[in-house]
Structure 1
């Protein structure tokens, strides 16, 4: 299956960092469904803004300028589906949209860095998550535990706070918050960072202030109101990135890890 790289998830990830006028620009590009004249002069006139504002907006999204931004925008543009009103097609299209966004967002170098940390000898890993993020955290923990990773999942907010007392330097803390608004998870990472832990946040949002206490922000795909779980399971984008991390951890000492994985399946009665 071929995936097109879209910059819509990049806009969504930086949305909270935009000014009011930049959010108007972001809304235009995220909601636009038609191919038209996207020249700076035309768009600026349509939005009653300036070409300089379009340039600043583009740079905040990580591009050199508006010309590079609009090139990427047009590259990933797709026609709206005619049958999107059907429930079944709506669900399948949503999954396809999230997978395409995930492909656009994945930073391979970042994934390798985190997988290397998880695979370090005598590495302790703590995964924090609430609600649907907690469900994904539990699944991630169960899979990595079969590889012999010393990993613990914490979904109770009181235990998150208490766990800070046992954090050691170089422990790895992975927080999961799709919205980026789970304060207890963010606070647990911040507290762990002060004790010397390596901190990773998996989220659909990215805020500049997180750089003070977060070593890595792994961006995941999202869609409006995804956290409400009305259409599909909200943990789906988290599980996608966890599977990518899992596959990269698997590359380290593959033979030993596969042998240990087989042993755990035998203990569980899955194979003989």
Structure 2
């Protein structure tokens, strides 16, 4: 698992003191890996006990184990990835292209590192056998919800995206066991997503979270959690930075479902492709 991506994911759920330590890990993991606990305590302005508690909150037995993991993570990074890459207001477009491309690639790589095959498989199985799949999201996550719904529709599954909380709640209340509800939220704290997911769960549907923060309210509310990643910058706040990684997760779920329902999915893709092709041909002929 990508340790730095994991720290970024759980950052919002940490205490203020632990967040200060986590931000130092994110900003300079090499420095933390080289520092003794006494040195790091002086740099971070926190007590050694707080550092140990933070290391344990991140899943390690203590600070030594965290240092070793960070050293290994730093050793695997390329020099380009370790270099600063935040976009500036005066950056030329050549730098914009390079930095945005690198950020997108890093988001995909970090997401892939955290995407557990067993957890993904459980979601694929639930979706493949579902009577209906509701996907809830607002803002940029609403675009991801729409993408997932239209992909499922292309292979003959009943997928519906909801970006309006009232409609989402109405649909969630009518779900039943065997259905699936997917909540998409970068923070995992979006009320318009939490509310319908909670109703869907009470209705008996299987629930899935696609979120940057596995320890969020959405993560605690759902049966399955798939973790996305995305580093914020001035021009790419969390929700926008995570969109590409959320789409990666959706694509992995879609391909897994299509594999498990290959005959039906293949036939549906051919039928929908033929229908679209015929429509476009007719449109072009009428336009001549």
Deviation per CA, 1:117-158: give whole Å up to 9, x if none: 0111x5211011112111111111111112221211112222
The structure with more helix, counted as a fraction of residues: 2
Change over 3 Å in CA distance of 1:161–1:180 after alignment to 2? same
Change over 3 Å in CA distance of 1:158–1:210 after alignment to 2? closer
Deviation per CA, 1:165-191: give whole Å up to 9, x if none: 312133210011123232111111012
Which residue of the partner structure matches residue 103 of structure 1?
A: 112
1:117 aligned residue (122, 126, 131): 126
What count of residue pairs does the alignment treat as equivalent?
A: 267
For residue 230 of structure 1, report the CA deviation from its aligned partner.
Answer: 10
Say if 1:127 and 1:152, in contact at 8 Å, map to a contact too.
yes
Asked if 1:30 corresponds to 2:26, the answer is: yes
Paired with 2:118 and 2:14, the residues of 1 have a C-alpha distance of: 27
Which residue of the partner structure matches residue 4 of structure 2?
A: 8
For residue 40 of structure 1, report the CA deviation from its aligned partner.
Answer: 2.6
3-state secondary structure, aligned to 2:183: strand
For residue 212 of structure 1, report the CA deviation from its aligned partner.
Answer: 5.1
Alpha-carbon RMSD: 2.8
Paired with 1:230 and 1:70, the residues of 2 have a C-alpha distance of: 27
Asked if 1:207 corresponds to 2:207, the answer is: no
Greater shift after overlay, 57-66 or 223-232?
A: 223-232
For residue 161 of structure 1, report the CA deviation from its aligned partner.
Answer: 2.1
2:161 aligned residue (146, 149, 153): 153
Say if 2:183 and 2:209, in contact at 8 Å, map to a contact too.
yes
Which residue of the partner structure matches residue 254 of structure 1?
A: 262
Deviation per CA, 1:9-57: give whole Å up to 9, x if none: 2112211221121111101101116556233333223223333322321
Which residue of the partner structure matches residue 53 of structure 1?
A: 50
Task: Give me the TM-score of the superposition, normalised by structure 1.
Answer: 0.86
Which residue of the partner structure matches residue 231 of structure 2?
A: 223
3-state secondary structure, aligned to 2:40: helix
Unaligned runs of 5+ in 2: 282-288
Asked if 1:87 corresponds to 2:96, the answer is: yes
Task: Give me the TM-score of the superposition, normalised by structure 2.
Answer: 0.82
2:178 aligned residue (170, 184, 194): 170
Say if 1:91 and 1:231, in contact at 8 Å, map to a contact too.
no
Structure 1 runs, 4 residues or longer, greater than 4 Å off: 33-36, 82-85, 208-212, 225-234
Unaligned runs of 5+ in 1: none
Paired with 2:235 and 2:204, the residues of 1 have a C-alpha distance of: 31
